[in-house]
Chain A
């Protein structure tokens, strides 16, 4: 077995944390809390690793290679350095530094989401072209219905009790399906977590 120490660490740490859910003993909680704290810290460090890998492992490496993507890698690296330098100088709580989020990140991301509306609408034109069956038709009709509901134009139905009940019923249908989906997700998470805790799955090795 490759790296038995890693498996041991994963299993032990998982079992201790899991036991805290069902056995809230003070001694166990005293061990569990710092373990969760270490995991939270490591999650932040993992973000650091991802950023370093992106800048150094991808874009810096791309600088050495010939191609048209070198220019954009230069933009990325320069922007990163400038923002990081300002951040270390001003601090994360400085309003001027927070303009990076409010004036650069938010407009770009929101604009991309707006583009998504156009793209989704265009692709929805051919919705039935690919799924020409009963389930495709049901999906298509469901999209139409809930778009109308979400738009709020059916507010006039408040004066029509039958329509109101019908709309209320329509709201419960996706709730039933969503509940089944949530239960399925929970069962899948349970199975995956158990496989990791018994050492059957080792996504951390290699």
Chain B
């Protein structure tokens, strides 16, 4: 019973909070702001505890207690980074930020080269290899599919290239070839972004369905 009561209590809390959020449909009001403030406070409190227990203690405190001298480096860097809280001492945290930024930049470069560039270029070329993999689809369609992928990829990349020549008569203008590919790329980008927007809408609608279902269940449970 206590457990059931606890679960019931938490369900009731969730139900109330859901309704308070939906009150935004009537416009911005104090209820919505209150629940927003509650959300911020609860989330930051939870995050604070998680960071202390799962970052500070296992990565800084425990190694120091175990005698790891090299842990002094991240400890010092962490101390410098904490100075970012104070506007006067914020400049001392630049060293830690520099380390973070440098490391992050290197990770981004490595991932971009090895993960996306090599993989996607290879994938664009191997689309034509599907001819050798008989999957039941007509080869003509596969070739068309591969060509579509290749043209679409190149056209999308060309669209994001905004280099142009400065001609005396016509002003700044792209070359005809890049202008053509850019127009085609626009077409592919519009379709892709349409698919992305449809996906966002689908996710939101799924959340709406899930919340509506939760409200119904909560009402049913509370009424029992």
Contacts and interface: CB of A to CB of B under 8 A. Distances in A.
Contact of A169 (B38, B93, B107, B145): B145
Majority-rule SS of A interface residues: helix
Interface string A41-67: 111111111011111110000000000
B116 A185 contact: yes
A46 B159 CA distance: 37
Interface in B105-121: 105-117, 120-121
Size band of the B side of the interface?
35 or more
B47 A51 contact: yes
A177 B51 contact: no
A150 B152 contact: no
A79 B112 contact: no
Contacts of B78: 41-42, 45
A179 B152 contact: yes
Interface of B: 6, 10-11, 13-15, 17-18, 21-22, 24-25, 33-56, 59-60, 70, 73-74, 77-78, 81-82, 84-85, 91, 93-117, 120-121, 123-124, 137, 141, 145, 148-149, 151-157, 159-160, 185-205, 207-208, 210-212, 214
24 contacts: A13-B98, A17-B103, A38-B73, A38-B77, A40-B59, A41-B55, A44-B59, A47-B47, A51-B48, A53-B84, A87-B49, A112-B21, A121-B201, A124-B201, A138-B194, A146-B198, A169-B148, A173-B188, A180-B156, A185-B112, A190-B108, A190-B117, A197-B102, A206-B91
